[in-house]
Amino acid sequence: MHKRRPAASALAVAWLLLNIGLIASAAQPEDEWYVVRIAGQRAGTMHQRTERVVREGVPLFRTKAESLLTISRLGAGMELRTSSTCLETEAGDLLEVVSELQFSTVPMKSEARVEDGHVVLKSYLGDNLSSVAERTIPFSGRLLGPEGIRRASEAGLKNPGDTVIVQSFLPELSKPVTVTQVLEGVELLPESVPPREALRVTETNSAYPRKRTAWLDRSGRTLFSSDASPFGEMTTRLTTREDALSLSAPVDAAVLPFEQALARSNIRLPQARSIDAVTLRLERRNPALGSDWTDLSGPGQTVLEKTADHLILKVERSSPAPQASVEEPPAGQDPADLDEFLRSNQYLDTQDEVLLKAVQEALGRPGPEELGDALGKALRLENWVTGRMKFDAGIAFAPSREVIRNARGTCAEHAVLLAAMLRATGIPSRILTGYVYLNGVWGGHAWVEARLGGAWVGLDAAVNGPGPADAARFALVRSSLNDGLGELLSGGQGLLGNLQVTVLSYALDGRTAVVDPAAPLYAVEENLYINPGLGLRVLKPSGFVFENMDGIWPDNTLLVMEGPNGETIRILQDAWRPGRDPEESAYLRLGDLVPGGRRS
């Protein structure tokens, strides 16, 4: 058996860090330091400086900004870093941005150069210039730098109701973003000692659906900001250098309440990894995080109903035709349309010699009857990744070159490695982020889709089962990663970590079960525990009492029975890897729980 390991997505945390970078600069050259708090805990810092420089005889503004979040996720420390240098004209027009994201040991670097009506963006990993990807991104209007944004705020926000709309460029998202500021009023800065007057401004960002509240001084500089997040309120406050640097990592890492981002299920699904279909009702828990529904329709997902406050989604397990070959062109589609899902990129490096050797090891030498079996090949790769990877919650998002060498990470790294190995064998693949069901909860997750025999088929090396990925999951975003992390960072925001998921029905082994949303998760009738979802009835021994019946992932305890003399009977819900004998796996697991126990 093995412990299933999704992870509340670190991408939601990464987005928070990127959003700090939209803070306006100071009017005069000086170092600005900010303290970042999440759910009341000191979580990080930001340092920014804007100054005049001269390049080739032309006076310009240069803004350097660095951000750091130091957090603890599932008991593991994690550091998320960003740095950027913006160059803009004296009028505030953006000329170039050089940025760096570090979500693992290898930083992701980007260089954006603004030209007439388009931005030329180069991205690469670390110092590996051979991984450079270059693309052109069109835009209209003006792109402003931090100093240009500050000036626009200073000039346009005078009286309540005044509105300022500016546009800038975030290399991390690979696209321009529009920021709208509305002056709500003039009031005392929250928690300011001594009291200080500030402009209270509501900000919206085109890349993210929720609203943010910021307090600015009259020059347009940010003094304080407050954002809603799945983990609680996130604030940034202007402070002193000494105060900002008093946070020492990783000892003082903020322990984020990731359980808040999990959605408790109304039913314990039986054999979740074999579920063929589910119908779900999705509702937002916090409207402040966004009010629009992402388009959730796609392979295996059908939106049955959508209103302002809920969405009904049907998810069906996808499978290719028996013995389907990856070489079969999809009906009515040009095979060239799939080229983007075969391309090697910074995160999925299909030319890596270490990865290519791993592919050979995983596939071995198939017999003649297996040569055209694309699904069989894909499942061997999936099982190889599952067997090699070790769970490490301290990694936010790493490229395949790092993962294949370190064999550590969360669901995101499992997905990255599997997607790269699939592409290296000629199987088109892409990364998905969304939700998966596991041990009583729906949580943020990443997995893979592979194009097999004309169908997109789910594969999951972190939470895997027999055959293609089960239907006890749903995707919010799909990405080739050819354009970097932009799609994964911005797509699905406002929903990830912010959903209540109710199971309305599910299909298993050819039978469909309708679920009463109002029914209790379990019932206790005197000495009997009844769990209708699992079809489980447990009669406790005389003198014992039921305890701990509400555990959820990562605790796989279903219930505990405590005896009068200190005896403990614990019932766990666990799983085993595909290909292993269930009975033998159970004995191995019992051996871990009861060292030295006898096998009858």
Residue 530 lies in a domain: yes
- Domain boundary at 457, 484, 509, which? 509
Judged by phi (left if over 0) then psi (alpha if -120 to 50, else beta), residue 406 lies in alpha
Q: Which residues contact 328 (CB under 8 A, 6 or more apart)?
A: 453, 454
235 and 272 share a domain? no
- Domain boundary at 475, 509, 543, which? 509
Q: Which residues contact 337 (CB under 8 A, 6 or more apart)?
A: none
Q: In whole angstroms, how far apart are CA 520 and each of 268, 516, 561?
A: 11, 9, 20
203 and 113 share a domain? yes
Query: Could you tell me where the DSSP H helices lie in 7-165?
Result: 10-20, 146-156
Residue 576 lies in a domain: yes
Q: What radius of gyration do the chain's Cα atoms show?
A: 26
Residue 355 lies in a domain: yes
Q: Which two tokens stand for residue 294?
A: 């992402």
Place of tokens 């499978």: 319
185 and 323 share a domain? no
Residue 193 lies in a domain: yes
Residue 4 lies in a domain: no
538 and 479 share a domain? no
481 and 543 share a domain? no
Residue 244 lies in a domain: yes
214 and 352 share a domain? no
215 with 200: CB under 8 angstroms? yes
Residue 1 lies in a domain: no
Residue range of the domain that includes 569: 523-593
Backbone angles phi, psi at 35, to 5 degrees: -105, 135
Exposed / middle / buried, residue 305 (Cβ in 10 Å: 0-12, 13-18, 19+): exposed
- Domain boundary at 203, 226, 258, which? 258
Q: What is the CATH number of the domain that holds 487?
A: 3.10.620.30
Q: Where are the beta strands (DSSP E) in 461-586?
A: 473-479, 499-508, 511-514, 523-525, 528-531, 536-539, 545-547, 557-562, 568-572
239 and 282 share a domain? no
Q: Which of 128, 2, 148 is nearest to 62 (CA)?
A: 148
175 and 298 share a domain? no
Report the number of distinct structural domains present in the chain. 3
271 and 241 share a domain? no
376 and 498 share a domain? yes
70 with 249: CB under 8 angstroms? yes
pLDDT in tens, the chain (600 residues): 444 555 545 555 555 555 555 565 555 567 899 999 988 889 889 999 999 999 999 999 999 999 988 887 777 778 888 999 999 999 999 999 999 988 888 888 999 999 999 999 998 887 766 667 889 999 999 999 999 999 999 999 999 999 999 999 988 888 899 999 999 999 999 877 788 899 999 999 888 777 899 999 999 999 999 988 888 888 999 999 998 888 644 446 777 777 778 899 999 999 999 999 999 999 998 877 776 788 999 999 999 999 989 999 999 999 886 655 554 544 445 555 789 999 999 899 999 999 999 999 999 866 545 556 899 999 999 999 999 999 988 888 899 999 999 999 999 999 999 999 999 999 999 999 999 999 999 999 999 999 998 899 999 999 988 899 999 999 999 999 998 888 888 777 788 888 999 999 999 999 999 999 999 999 999 999 999 999 999 999 999 999 999 988 888 899 999 999 999 999 988 766 555 666 666 667 677 777 776 766
Residue 365 lies in a domain: yes
Indicate yes or no: pTM above 0.75: yes
469 and 527 share a domain? no
204 and 267 share a domain? no
